[in-house]
Amino acid sequence: MGAIQNILAVILVLGLLITFHEFGHFWVARRCGVKVLRFSVGFGKPLWSRFDRHGTEFAVAAIPLGGYVKMLDEREGPVAPDEQHRAFNRKSVWARIAIVIAGPLANFLLALVAYWLLFVAGTSTVAPVIGSVAPDSPAAQAGLTPGQEIVAVQGDRTRSWEDVNLELISRIGLSGNLDVSVLGEKSTEAQVHNVNVNNWLAQQDPPRPLQTLGITPWRPETPAVLGQVLEGEAAAQAGLEAGDRIVAVDGAPVEDWLGFVDRVRHRPGETLALRVERDGEYLDMSLTPGSREVKGETIGYIGAGVEPVSWPEEYRREIRYGPLAAVGQSVSRTAEMTVLTLDSIRKMLVGLIAPSNLSGPITIARIAGDTARSGLESFISFMAYLSISLGVLNLLPIPVLDGGHLAYYLIEAVRGRPVSEAVQAVGLRIGLALVGTLMMMALYFDLMRL
């Protein structure tokens, strides 16, 4: 069921992003007087199509990994004399630049709208309060202690663990002092702690900023109470029910949910003697965990989930803005994520970020499914970031991508004449090789993660 949800989620996300991207090209082409022959979401044989009154075919094709807008162009076939003024190649270089750049700009616009909706509707998060600090870790050496709230990294404000992680990841490759500003439990003035780092997070796959610092986020105590029991799995077969509290395993007391999970994971196929509290009464039960393979390791699995716990109000944060203030915040967040994406590409090229961090369709599908299950807020946030990534990647000066065409047209604008067909043909082959190689690498790393 999870795989189906992942597939549906990624089709929805990619379909929406591709449609917006291609609509950007389409809309500007129409405004520039270019005849659009086909607007296709997906590649290959059309599964559905129809024509509008302008003669444009709108199609949904079988392979949902891209799309295209096919325009009237004399370089791709003969054009009737009375239609030549509507051909793409007959338009001014500035019109062609506008048409090419409109696709990526549409992706940035989609991200702006998505972030604006999130800021207006309000997002719920938890304060980035330190739960524990590993002994002799960089955080411990810098004087960070449990109970402190991280309010800024390198001077940039942080209101959630997501903010903290983004700020830490954006400093990959840093050597020197990493400034972490914190508030104590009773203090009102932030204190700055200097964490000494060397080639921060370089070549980590994936980057683990909090673990590398030695910080574990604070979480409320989670008692070992079952919130859900899956039918047909080991927990249900043992007679466990939602609401049961696990008191002891093999006579040893269970302190919290993680302690119970740890014992189950290390005992696949072994019978465990449970002491369970149900409606004020204590029951003795036997449980034999099933097994699952995770990253080459066999672990115990019982098919049960924990009962959710409420976060104390003092740890909760509601981030919400009015419609006008949200515009500025959405622009700021879009710009921040764009810079982060560009910087990540640069760092991958210079070797600070391992190529194995590349993600392909399998990873995108998994994350899309996970965020969809986490709620609409997470799903929209992921879609916005993916839209920015699509916009940035399409603007890279690689032939076959929008950025490659844009580079040719900018050269033409400067020189006063177009780049020769021979040069463009060579660039096309190089571009196809680069893009094909990147796609194969991303798919390979996807499969390795499985």
pLDDT band at 31; cut points 50, 70, 90 = very high
Give the integer Cα–Cα distance in Å for 21 and 27. Answer: 10
Give the integer Cα–Cα distance in Å for 202 and 352. Answer: 5
**Residue 226: its pLDDT value, please?**
93
> Known catalytic residue: 74?
no
Give the integer Cα–Cα distance in Å for 67 and 20. Answer: 10
206-222 as b/e, with b when 16 or more CB fall inside 10 Å? Answer: ebebbebbbbeebeeeb
pLDDT digits (tens, 9 = 90+) for 181-239: 999 877 778 999 999 999 999 888 788 999 999 999 998 989 999 999 988 899 999 99
- For the chain, give percent helix, strand, coil, nearest 5: 45, 25, 30
Which structure tokens are listed for 441? 């690498």
Calculate mean pLDDT across residues 153-159.
Answer: 93
Spatial contact of 139 and 209, defined as CB atoms under 8 Å apart: no
**Residue 337: its pLDDT value, please?**
94
**Residue 295: its pLDDT value, please?**
66
Q: Is the pLDDT of residue 49 over 60?
A: yes
The rounded percent of the chain whose pLDDT value lies above 90 is 68
Q: Is the pLDDT of residue 10 over 90?
A: no
- Whether the ω angle into residue 220 lies within 30 degrees of 0, i.e. cis, is no
CATH 2.30.42.10 domain extents, the chain: 125-220+310-319, 226-306
If one compares 445 and 382, the residue with the highest pLDDT of the two is: 382
Phi, psi at 3, each rounded to 5°: -65, -40
Calculate mean pLDDT across residues 98-121.
Answer: 96
Give the integer Cα–Cα distance in Å for 195 and 168. Answer: 12
Q: Is the pLDDT of residue 1 over 90?
A: no
pLDDT digits (tens, 9 = 90+) for 401-433: 999 999 999 999 999 999 998 998 999 999 999
Taking every pair of C-alpha atoms in the chain, what is the biggest distance, in angstroms?
90
Give the integer Cα–Cα distance in Å for 311 and 221. Answer: 10
**Residue 57: its pLDDT value, please?**
93
Residues contacting 327, CB < 8 A, separation 6+? 116
**Residue 77: its pLDDT value, please?**
86
How buried is 434 (Cβ within 10 angstroms: 0-12 exposed, 13-18 middle, 19+ buried)? middle
Instruction: From 187, 220, 122, 171, select the one nearest 179 (Cα to Cα).
Output: 171
Catalytic: which of 22, 57, 74, 307?
22
Crossing angle (nearest 10°) for helices 376-394 and 93-121 = 160
pLDDT digits (tens, 9 = 90+) for 278-324: 999 999 999 999 988 776 788 899 999 999 888 888 888 888 999 99
Q: Is the pLDDT of residue 247 over 80?
A: yes
**Residue 450: its pLDDT value, please?**
66
Calculate mean pLDDT across residues 92-103.
Answer: 96
pTM equals 0.83
Considering only the top CATH level, what class is 226-306? Answer: mainly beta
Distance of CA 93 to the CA centre of its chain: 36
Calculate mean pLDDT across residues 155-182.
Answer: 92
**Residue 211: its pLDDT value, please?**
93
How buried is 44 (Cβ within 10 angstroms: 0-12 exposed, 13-18 middle, 19+ buried)? exposed
Give the integer Cα–Cα distance in Å for 92 and 34. Answer: 11
- Name beta bridge partners: 226: 306
Q: Is the pLDDT of residue 86 over 90?
A: yes
* CATH 3.40.50.1220 applies to domain 125-220+310-319: no
Give the integer Cα–Cα distance in Å for 155 and 176. Answer: 15
**Residue 447: its pLDDT value, please?**
83
Which structure tokens are listed for 430? 């190089």
- Name beta bridge partners: 69: 39
pLDDT digits (tens, 9 = 90+) for 324-345: 999 999 999 999 999 999 999 9
Q: Which amino acid is at 197?
A: V
Instruction: Tell me if residue 190 falls in helix, strand or coil.
Output: coil
Give the integer Cα–Cα distance in Å for 246 and 261. Answer: 11
